[in-house]
Amino acid sequence: MHLREILLTAVVLTLCALALVRPRLGLFGYIWYATMRPDVLAWCADANNYSLYLAVCTLLGAVPYLSNLGRLVRSWSSALFLTLQIPLALSTFLAVRPELSYGLYTDFVKSFVVLLLIPVLIEDFQQLVQLILLIGISIGVLGLKFGGFGIVHGGVIIVDGYGGQMSDNNLVGLALTMMIPLCWYGRALTESRALRWMLSGIVAVSVAGIVMTNSRGSSLALGAVFLCIILRSRRKIAALLVASVVAGAAIYLVRDEYINRIATITHYEQEASASSRIVYAEAAVKMWLDYPVLGVGFGGLNYMALAGRYMGLNNDHVAHNSYLQMLVDSGIIAFVFYITLLFGTICYLGISCRRIGREWPDVACMGVALQTSLVAFAVGGTFYSSQRYDLPYIILMCSAAWELLVKSIEVEVSVDSQEDVSSRLDTVRSPLLTS
């Protein structure tokens, strides 16, 4: 056993013990493990069931919080997420080849059960700030790893993945892009100057990492993130200049390869990888028409097994589109719930943030960070089959927690004076994060 694995084992066992008495720490540990995948860094990827141990201990520790389960139906995001599980389960057990769906669905269930604890255990804004920064920094470590490697070597094209659900360069790019707004807006949620500088550094280096993944979908998602940030900035010109300098410097290092790759978006027929996405998408639509209600089976493997019939050639690829993959895998009902959950949450966050932004800017800042992260996934997910990817569901459940907390302060406003409520919101900035 390597020293890295020994240290990781010690950390996980400590978190498991803490989770039994402090389930929120267990939840944070589980999300840290899911987003950073420290077992990959410790050279023991998938060798142990550390994630499962953290999940079980956290669930056991959360038993005293069972009275909070009603929060799941008071948030429309978490309620819709729960409802989505019905067609997903049916599409698994009634799949064309159920054995291809069982394993993937079991893994998905293990994950979503723990993620439902986010709106259950997050009871104030301070805890939500800590969770947002935890997610941002955990993925940010990977941004520093990939982006830093590329910068040090004068520009490289990253063709490999990392591990776990970031199994290829495209998914690495998507994760880093979703992390950018969490770290960018996270700077406003802490008074620690050192932490602000660290978050700024993560953003700058990770942008280079995203560019060097040479991922078209992630580049478009990054453009959407930059656009959201610039439009919401009070100093739009300054924000535009910063984004241009950071992205421009990264692009310059790999300019020829990157520009040629991005050009295939408009001339997709000239590049095999880009043109094949159209073929996969057409096969998905044709297949769904034959299995419209519950699809062919959750997880994508049934699609891979059947796609050859619709493409006229052997196939070992998924649909490369999260929305079409959900449609063909689990049918029209799951597709409608999924689209409503994702885009409904994005719209809700935008409307709510505008409504409360003037009175509670720190609270609105959290909502904007979560919304922009979901926008990144909504764009990037068009190019990858990421319907099982846990990061967007983590962000969605954080959004559910935010929704519940906002509702609680709005109720207090209707009862208490504005000054009393505002004074209690001073706890938004965590004392653990101050200088």
Assess whether 247 and 387 both reside in one domain. yes
- Whether 163 and 135 map to the same domain: the answer is yes
User: Of 412, 396, 408, nearest to 349 (Cα)?
Assistant: 396
Same domain for 75 and 14 = no
301 lies in some domain: no
Residue 10 pLDDT > 50, yes or no? yes
Q: In one letter, which amino acid is 232?
A: R
Residue 294 is assigned to a structural domain of this protein: no
Q: Are residues 109 and 177 in the same domain?
A: yes
Strand partners, 168: 160
Q: How far apart are CA 305 and CA 296, in angstroms?
A: 10
> How many domains does one find in the chain?
2
Summarised one tens digit per residue, pLDDT across range 245-294 is 988 988 888 877 777 776 666 555 555 566 788 889 999 999 999 999 99
Backbone φ/ψ region at 313: left (φ over 0), alpha (ψ -120 to 50), beta: beta
User: Quick one: 129 and 190 in the same domain?
Assistant: yes
Could you tell me if 167 and 242 lie in one domain? yes
Angle between helices 125-152 and 169-186 (to 10 degrees): 130
In-domain check, residue 393 = yes
Residue from 361, 368, 389 nearest 377 by CA: 389
Please check whether residue 282 lies inside any domain of the structure: no
* pLDDT at residue number 278: 86
Same domain, 11 and 128: no
Whether 409 has a pLDDT exceeding 90, the answer reads no
Tokens describing residue 223? 């453009």
Residues 94, 191 within the same domain? yes
Percent of the chain scoring above 90 in pLDDT: 71
Please report the pLDDT score of residue 435 as a whole number: 40
User: Of 20, 40, 61, which residue constitutes the final position of a domain?
Assistant: 61
Q: Which of 378, 386, 376 is nearest to 223 (CA)?
A: 376
pLDDT tens string 183-222: 999 999 999 999 999 999 999 999 999 999 988 899 999 9
Average pLDDT over residues 406-435: 59
* pLDDT surpassing 70 at residue 42: yes
Span 70-104, pLDDT tens digits: 999 999 999 999 999 999 999 999 999 999 999 99
pLDDT tier at 47, thresholds 50, 70, 90: confident
Within a domain: 275: no
* Token pair for 37: 């995948």
Q: Same structural domain for residues 19 and 123?
A: no
Q: What is the per-residue pLDDT across 300-340, written as a single tens digit (0 to 9) for each? A: 999 999 998 998 877 778 889 999 999 999 999 999 999 99
The reported pLDDT for the residue numbered 274 is 64
With respect to residue 434, please indicate whether it lies within any of the assigned structural domains.
Answer: no
Least confident of 67-76, 111-120, 289-298, 426-435: 426-435
Is 44 within 8 Å of 38 (Cβ atoms)? no
> Is residue 274 one of the residues assigned to a domain?
no
pTM: 0.92
Indicate whether 85 and 53 sit together in one domain: no
Contact between 138 and 36 under an 8 Å Cβ cutoff? The reply is: yes
Tell me the mean pLDDT in the region 146-159.
89
- The residue out of 36, 61, 86 marking a domain boundary is 61
Residues 245 and 377 placed together within one structural domain of the fold: yes
pLDDT for the residue 434: 47
In a domain? residue 208? yes
Checking if the pLDDT of 422 tops 60, the result is: no
Nearest-10 crossing angle of helices 301-311, 272-290: 100
What pLDDT is stored for residue 2 in this prediction? 81
Average pLDDT over every residue of 380-400: 94
Share of residues in the chain with pLDDT > 70 (%): 91
Domain that holds residue 57: 1-61
> What mean pLDDT is reported for the chain?
90
Integer angstrom CA distances of residue 223 from 79, 144, 378: 31, 20, 12
Choose the final residue of a domain: 39, 61, 83. 61
Banded model confidence at residue 417, pLDDT cuts 50, 70, 90: low
Asked if 149 and 126 sit in the same domain, the reply is yes
Residue 429 has a pLDDT of 47
